[in-house]
Chains A and B, each alone.
Chain A
């Protein structure tokens, strides 16, 4: 454990970095001071607040050097696969090949935020007819056109069907620009009918067995395509080994999430937890290093919890966060307003739940893929959220709308209603664009109102208790 935990600015990190370096901090090859990334154009970093641990530094450096890793992989002759939309399933398979590196082009949606719109990706998307009525993931289109943010993959694999229309439409536009795409079908997950054979998916939702079989057959097609690209056969043993490694990531994250969301005081900021959770999706282009990065972060958090140390006030309002934010700074904002994140549903719970290891590996992946919250109904998603709100003891739910996203238009209403009906907690919906500077006062006011509501409810509850 390093120093007393606190949230610090980028300037403060430079001082902290020197201090840690002098103290003998061991750094990976991609290590270095965080502020160097600003010179690469990552201007948003200057406005964020970070955890001050060496583990967090490693996490950030790992995230911010992904492009370098992809280019190194290309130079080393590895095949690069862009896995799109499924958020956590195909990469598990892709990383089983010795000469394949997979990444999520979807992740480009954070580039406009991190570079504070200086990258011009959204303008490129505009010029292709994909304007601001689409989700910020449209930045991906710009990244393909400019070729400045990741090497153009040797293969693109995209799940379609029960996905959001934004991504499906943008991927089709990309396809129309001359990028071949291997499409695979993700059916809308439905409830099993009476007497229909069913399977319990990771996360606890039941699905018809025939749907699992269908997804499995689609993943078999994906596997065959990857085998052809890699020139290597993927047998069950190798796939099972890959699943074990993915489960190590998920295991670390499960403990991290539990400690981060339940320990008093909060041992690690929401922003670092968001980054950590995202690693589960595609391992940030290096699975082995992902495990090491998360392992170190977990050690840090365990140490803090054991010592009773944290980064926020002990009375911070416990907020459950729904949907990922396009502007990372908003995670800071919640904590600045007196809140802490106690539970998340960033649209990829299926990448966090353990992959079953007691069934054939491809079926296990099919079960995971089908558990995708986006593949099912908003009602299923709301019920999972309610269960996790209870589990982590959150006192309010904050739904962060993704501007333009097809699913956000209607599901926010369903989730709000079900949470309100099921749990006695307040719900707030906000919308977070890639850069929130101009609307920061409005967002702050709304989040502060939520935090105040939580505190008022606590006082009321305490009042009732003392009256008794």
Chain B
């Protein structure tokens, strides 16, 4: 089966899968020293890593890039000039409140469909799309319900794998992959925290373990690769009536992000989730040169009554680790 790689949460895995292709949402490995843009300065480490991943990926048959951030949009130019992998730039509107913006997103999904067909995919029937959506919906439900039985890192890994698992169920806490019962009980004594920000890369998942080791417990993963980037549960009636519209609605309207204009839905979502999980502190994780998230830091601090710790990363984990560890330790001492 041909594999289409992407990272953006606004690319519905179901749409790719329904075309008979493998939707491979990539969990980036970190900044690839083998790839160098002419200048690294000013380039978001995540974007740099993505460019490296696409250019060096030998298993992919196509790549989907989106316009959600300007640097990713520019990354597409670098990719098409530097590798032969077929690539598609999907226009995801920043505005979301108008019918025109919603229609544009649907039209872009259709255009993406054309790209997938060009790569050997098959236009899905309504039933095929609906069945695929149901399978993914079940998989996400399974992941969500497993959250309390998994460590934050395991949960993040489960979400990351979710796009590829296609309905495979997760443990209910009794499996070996979950936290042992004693560990779960100990975890409830730790300080409940949220991690908020853009996408994490694979090595960044260690940060979640680090937080737990230092006395915290991530009860809300509001990163792009975490719960925040998961599309909400489908409306099953609408899914049967018009699966493409339900797919578009769930993804386009259901994933809150800093990039939306206005991005009020992000704060509405955070308000609900922070209160619902009794969060006592926020770890704000951002990449250096990511303007969209960086600009939210000041607003988040003004908006919420919780302490916020800013953790920036240049993508160099070796250098970042001791500094981040010290900052989180100090943050935990303050909260405990």
Scan residues 367-413 of chain A and give those whose CB is less than 8 A from a CB of chain B: 377-379, 401, 404-413
A185 surroundings in chain B (CB, below 8 A): 93-95, 98, 100-101, 104
B294 close to A409 (CB less than 8 A) = no
Q: Which of A128, A184, A406 makes the CB contact (< 8 A) with B95?
A: A184
Interface centre among A168, A175, A190, A378 (most CB of B within 10 A): A168
The A-B contact count (CB < 8 A) is 146
Q: Is the CB of A161 within 8 A of B262?
A: no
- Residues B297 and A129 in contact, CB atoms below 8 Å apart: yes
How would residues 349 to 380 of chain A score, 1 for a CB under 8 Å from any chain B CB and 0 otherwise? 00000000000000000000000000001110
Q: Which residues of A contact B276 (CB under 8 A)?
A: none
Cβ-defined contact, A168 with B95, below 8 A = no
- Cβ–Cβ contact A410 & B100, under 8 A: no
- B41 interface hit (Cβ, 8 Å): yes
- Within 8 Å CB of B141, what residues of A? none
Contact with A along B87-129 (1 / 0, CB 8 A): 0010101110010110010010001001000000000000000
Inter-chain contacts of A405 with B (CB < 8 A): 42
Interface residues of A in 129-166 (CB under 8 A from B): 129-130, 133-134, 158, 160-166
What separation, in Å, do the CA atoms of A410 and B40 have in the docked complex?
9
Contact of A165 among B71, B81, B111, B288 (CB under 8 A): B71
CA distance A169 to B258 in the complex (A): 9
Per-residue interface assignment for chain A, residues 176 to 215, with 1 indicating a CB less than 8 Å from any chain B CB and 0 otherwise: 1000010111011010010000000000000000100010
From residue A235, how far is it (CB to closest CB) to chain B in Å?
23
Q: Does A218 contact B (CB under 8 A)?
A: yes
Contact B38 A412, beta carbon cutoff 8 Å? yes
**Are A169 and B39 in touch, CB under 8 angstroms?**
no
Are B114 and A193 in contact, with the CB atoms below 8 A?
Answer: yes
Known contacts A160-B95, A185-B101, A408-B42; is A169 also within 8 Å of B291 by CB? yes
Asked whether B298 is an interface residue with its Cβ less than 8 Å from the other chain, the reply is: yes
Which residues of chain B have C-beta atoms less than 8 A from A163's C-beta? 70
Tell me which of B15-23, B72-80, B188-196 binds A: B72-80
With a cutoff of 8 Å between Cβ atoms, the chain B residues found around residue A190 in the complex are 89, 91
Asked if B289 is an interface residue, CB under 8 A from chain A, the answer is yes
- B295/A172 in contact, CB under 8 A: yes
| Residue A417, interface by CB 8 Å | yes
B197 to chain A minimum Cβ distance, whole angstroms, is 14
- In the complex, whether A57 has a CB less than 8 A from a CB of chain B is no
Task: Fill in one digit per residue for A207-251: 1 if any B CB lies within 8 Å of its CB, else 0.
Answer: 000100010011001000000000000000000000000000000
Alpha-carbon distance A11/B135, docked complex (angstroms): 76
Q: Report the Cα distance A378→B291, complex, angstroms.
A: 19
Alpha-carbon separation in the docked complex, A163 to B94 (Å)? 10
Contact between A166 and B291, CB atoms less than 8 A apart: yes
Chain A's closest residue to B303 (CB) is: A176
A410 touches B261 (CB 8 A): no
Q: By the criterion CB–CB under 8 Å, are A172 and B100 in contact? A: no
Q: Are A214 and B297 in contact (CB under 8 A)?
A: no
Check A413–B262 contact: CB distance below 8 A: no
Q: Are B299 and A173 in contact (CB under 8 A)?
A: yes
B104 and A409 form a contact (CB under 8 A): no
- Nearest to B295 among chain A residues (CB) is A169
In the complex where A185-B104, A412-B38 touch, is A172 in contact with B69 (Cβ < 8 A)? no
A414 at the interface (CB under 8 A from B): yes
Of B38, B94, B104, B111, the contact of A168 (CB 8 Å cutoff)? B94
Return chain B residues, CB-CB under 8 Å to A414.
74, 77-78, 81
Find the A residue at minimum CB distance from B263: A172
Report yes or no: B78 in contact with A413, Cβ–Cβ below 8 A: yes
Name the one of B38, B81, B98 contacting A379, with C-beta atoms under 8 angstroms: B81
Asked if A409 meets B298 with Cβ closer than 8 Å, knowing A161-B94, A188-B91, A377-B77, the reply is no
Given A164-B70, A413-B37, A414-B81: A175 in contact with B93 (beta carbons within 8 A): no
Whether the Cβ atoms of B100 and A218 lie closer than 8 Å is yes
- Is A416 an interface residue, CB under 8 A from the partner? yes
In contact, B95 and A162 (Cβ under 8 angstroms): no
Give a binary string over B40-66; 1 marks a CB under 8 Å from any A CB, 0 the rest: 011110010000000000000000000
Q: Which residues of B contact A158 (CB under 8 A)?
A: 261
A404 to B299, CA, bound (A): 20
Interface residues of B in 281-303 (CB under 8 A from A): 288-292, 294-299, 301-303
Q: How far is the CA of A407 from the CA of B47 in the complex (A)?
A: 12
A329: min CB distance to chain B, Å: 23
Judged by a CB distance under 8 angstroms, whether A170 is at the interface is yes
Q: Does B142 contact A (CB under 8 A)?
A: no
CB distance from A370 to the nearest CB of B (A): 12
Question: 1/0 per residue B178-221: CB within 8 Å of A?
Answer: 00000000000000000000000000000000000000000000
- With beta carbons under 8 angstroms apart, the residue of A134, A184, A406, A410 that contacts B37 is A410
Whether B73 lies near A409 (C-beta < 8 A) is no
Q: Does B164 contact A (CB under 8 A)?
A: no
Q: In the bound complex, how far is the Cα of B261 from the Cα of A165, in angstroms?
A: 12
Distance to closest chain B CB from A16 (angstroms): 42
Contact residues in A for B111 (Cβ distance below 8 Å)? 193
B3 is an interface residue with CB less than 8 A from chain A: no
One of B39, B74, B81, B302 near A417 (C-beta < 8 A): B81
> Within the complex, what minimum Cβ distance (angstroms) separates B103 from chain A?
9
Known A183-B262, A217-B100, A378-B77: A406·B93 in contact at CB below 8 Å? no
Q: A128-B298, A414-B81, A417-B81 are in contact. Are A162 and B73 (CB under 8 A)?
A: yes
* Chain A residue at smallest Cβ distance from B74: A410
A429 to chain B, nearest CB (A): 8
Q: Is the CB of A165 within 8 A of B77?
A: no
In the docked arrangement, what's the CA distance between A93 and B294, Å? 34
Q: Is the Cβ of A221 less than 8 Å from the Cβ of B261? A: no
* A416→B259 CA distance, assembly (Å): 29
User: Is the beta-carbon distance between A165 and B38 smaller than 8 angstroms?
Assistant: no
List chain A residues, Cβ under 8 A from B317.
none
Are B74's CB and A160's CB within 8 A?
Answer: no
* Residue B154, interface by CB 8 Å: no
Report whether A162 and B67 are in contact in the complex, using a CB–CB cutoff of 8 Å. yes
Residues of B within 8 A of A412 (CB): 38-39
User: How far apart are the CA atoms of A190 and B77 in the complex, in Å?
Assistant: 12
Q: Most A CB atoms within 10 A — which of B91, B263, B289, B303?
A: B91
**Contact present for B292 and A168 (CB under 8 Å):** yes
A and B contact pairs by CB, cutoff 8 A, 7 listed: A134-B294, A162-B73, A165-B292, A173-B295, A181-B261, A378-B74, A413-B38
Known: A165-B290, A185-B98, A378-B74. 11 other contacts (CB 8 A): A161-B95, A162-B91, A169-B291, A172-B261, A185-B93, A185-B104, A187-B91, A188-B73, A379-B81, A409-B44, A410-B47
Residues on B lying within 8 angstroms of A by beta carbon are: 37-39, 41-44, 47, 67, 69-71, 73-78, 80-81, 89, 91, 93-95, 98, 100-101, 104, 107, 111, 114, 258-259, 261-263, 288-292, 294-299, 301-303
Write the residues of chain A forming the contact surface with B, with a CB cutoff of 8 angstroms: 128-130, 133-134, 158, 160-166, 168-173, 175-176, 181, 183-185, 187-188, 190, 193, 210, 214, 217-218, 221, 377-379, 401, 404-414, 416-417
10 closest Cβ contacts across the A-B interface?
A129-B298, A409-B42, A169-B295, A410-B74, A413-B38, A165-B291, A406-B70, A165-B70, A160-B94, A169-B291
